[in-house]
Structure 1
């Protein structure tokens, strides 16, 4: 008797982006075409990495709400030593993992789970490594159903970051949202607005600011 074939799960729709610069320049990144996740716009990513320039070389990078992993992949392409990506949506996570395995196998650790639950585990790894890392937060927009407290919860994660483990924390957020100038031991350095999205850069506060 012929075995019955299991129906193949339909893969979610994607569109393509490319790595802007560095080692993987021009390589294609699959971006999920769904409303619950989004990839940072190319112009925004380009501004981010123009700002960071060579700071990333040899430093760990953590993309907390990863989606496709486009920012972490770009960071690794620009010289980051290692990266972590956290993604909650299972289908998006599969796309993230495919991107990593195709572009940078073995160099980015992907984590499937809730960013608010998994962040502590990755942070403990950085503590053990005694490393100062770059953190990128791109939480889902708070206007989405069930996400009303997303920024408040994200600020809670930022408050956990200690100066000895942080070079810089960048938050991509709605331009209509004003983040505090001080979050825990981090101090707002500058903002860059791109239409509806803004990048806010936080560095560990100087001793006289503490």
Structure 2
């Protein structure tokens, strides 16, 4: 029983899964989105999350995608390359589905940068959320530019909104291919940049 108390976790903020506890991967390679950031993001989206497909490109614990499902998203798509993190993600989703059996989701255990076929296959109103590892971490110096390049190459018009959570000190371009930055919101060391067609 004590081990569960020591397991780091976060709670879903609102919706059908409000209060659901999500476990966090025991890896330093993932960094969960803070509750205040999640709340601000979904307040900004409002009803636009309802009936959308929500893609979490760096799945981690799945907190953003599960929050989206809780608030009415039609389906969650989670991409996470780390096997251990993907296992925690799957457990979190199974716990969510026990609460709401109507939830629909897919998990892909692969690198986000190999996900172009998945993104091309989406056929309905889609939001893409990217929260890559901070580029100051070892081996991650080109992480943001790789994300930007992938977004520039996107051709699926169903992906109408892309949100990029990154370091506040980092530069995010005004345009990425057919997407234009419409808003930024800063939360200390993190900033969310919103891009839409």
> Structure 1-normalised TM-score?
0.86
Deviation at 1:72, TM superposition (A): 0.2
What is aligned with 1:114? 111
What CA deviation, in whole Å up to 9, does each residue of 1:94-143 have, x standing for no partner? 000110111136611011011101x21211221xx2x2300000010111
* Cα separation, 2, equivalents of 1:178 and 1:160: 19
The equivalent residue for 2:121 is: 125
Structure 1 partner of 2:3: none
Equivalents in 1 of 2:177, 2:57: separation in Å?
18
CA displacement at 1:157 relative to structure 2: 1.5
Unaligned runs of 5+ in 1: 1-12, 205-210
Residue 106 of structure 2 aligns to a residue whose secondary structure is: strand
Instruction: State the TM-score, normalized to the length of structure 2.
Output: 0.91
The gaps in structure 2 that reach 5 residues or longer are 1-5
The residue that corresponds to 1:45 in the other structure is 38
Give me the whole-angstrom Cα distance separating, in 2, the residues matched to 1:33 and 1:46: 24
- Kindly report the root-mean-square deviation, in angstroms, between the aligned alpha carbons of the 2 structures: 1.4
Cα deviation, 1:166-199, whole Å, max 9, x if unaligned, reads 2210000000001000000000001000000000
| 2:171 pairs with 1:178 | yes
Partner residue in 2 for 1:158? 151
| Residue in structure 2 matched with residue 146 of structure 1 by the alignment | 139
Distance across 2 between alignment mates of 1:14 and 1:173: 26
Give the number of the structure whose alpha-carbon radius of gyration is greater.
Answer: 1
- CA shift, 1:163, in A, is 6.3
